[in-house]
Amino acid sequence: MASYKIFLKASAAKELEALPKADRLRVVERIKTLAENPRPMGCEKLTGDEKYRLRQGVYRILYEIHDDTIMVMVVKIGHRRAVYR
């Protein structure tokens, strides 16, 4: 299987930079794993959207998978209580 390219929206990059350093490193490692397998164990497709959710501690990573262009677009990163708003 081909490796997917990972892109972050500008807003997601800002949200990533706002995280504490230790949490940011764990989230970045989790995002990197999406290149090999964009639908890992524990990911969940969101209802009503073509987005997926991945958990990393108290943070959630929302992303879209574009199989036709072999791309993963990270849309939003945030704390679990605020990410879905």
pLDDT at position 68 is 94
Structure tokens at 20: 């504490």
Tens digit of each residue's pLDDT (9 = 90 or more) over 5-58: 999 999 999 999 999 999 999 999 999 999 999 999 999 999 988 999 999 999
Its pTM stands at 0.94
Domain boundaries, the chain: 5-79
pLDDT at position 54 is 97
CATH architecture type of domain 5-79: 2-Layer Sandwich (3.30)
pLDDT at position 49 is 86
Angle at 53 between CA 79 and CA 16, to 5 degrees: 45
pLDDT at position 84 is 85
